[in-house]
Chain A
Amino acid sequence: KAGVTQTPRYLIKTRGQQVTLSCSPISGHRSVSWYQQTPGQGLQFLFEYFSETQRNKGNFPGRFSGRQFSNSRSEMNVSTLELGDSALYLCASSLDRGRGNSPLHFGNGTRLTVT
């Protein structure tokens, strides 16, 4: 079974631009979560999608948005990029909405650099 796939692996953007990151979950997994990883703030929860609906949201500005498609694939969008948005963005999928001790399965991440 293929794991969580994130594309692209690397991105370089300029301040003020917008960017879209893509995530394909493990086949059969219906929940997709996004996390931002930076050296200063560590791993922080961005949002979670399940059945094409955002179910939970972290403490990030509205410039960060996402969506989920009917096949469970998800995209994350960041508009008006700032230097501080430079980070590793990790996508994770799970079979269901955190049933019991159900873990997250992570992708390899997208490294976004904003110049």
Chain B
Amino acid sequence: AQTVTQSQPEMSVQEAETVTLSCTYDTSESNYYLFWYKQPPSRQMILVIRQEAYKQQNATENRFSVNFQKAAKSFSLKISDSQLGDTAMYFCAFRAWYDFNKFYFGSGTKLNVKP
């Protein structure tokens, strides 16, 4: 079974600064996919960024980037130039190559961006 761990229940950052959210996972699979989702108070889960395990290059999406360390089974999210709209719960998610739409989620990190 796969497990995803987010060890930071809550974090705060000043507007325009950079923050890193941690995520580790446990799996015996070599081929899988990793995601970061954001859940604002509206409750809708929004995809932030995704990474394929077979790609060594770290994914980036505008102000969002990941540090993917496959050997360490670590997948952290870096948010640069934090904005007030980034305030939300952030969930790290894992999907094995064969599990199609069965995602395993971490417990989430609540990010507060302060003005």
B-contacting residues of A (Cβ < 8 Å)? 3, 31, 33, 35, 42-45, 48, 55-56, 58, 88, 90, 92, 94, 97-98, 100-101, 103-109, 111
Chain B 87-108, CB-CB to A under 8 Å as 1, else 0, gives 0000100010001111111111
30 contacts between A and B (CB under 8 A): A3-B44, A33-B102, A35-B103, A42-B105, A42-B106, A42-B107, A43-B91, A43-B105, A44-B105, A45-B102, A45-B103, A45-B104, A48-B101, A48-B102, A55-B100, A56-B100, A56-B101, A56-B102, A97-B100, A98-B95, A98-B99, A100-B33, A101-B35, A101-B52, A104-B47, A106-B37, A106-B44, A106-B46, A107-B44, A108-B43
The residues of B that contact A100 with a CB separation of less than 8 Å are: 33, 52
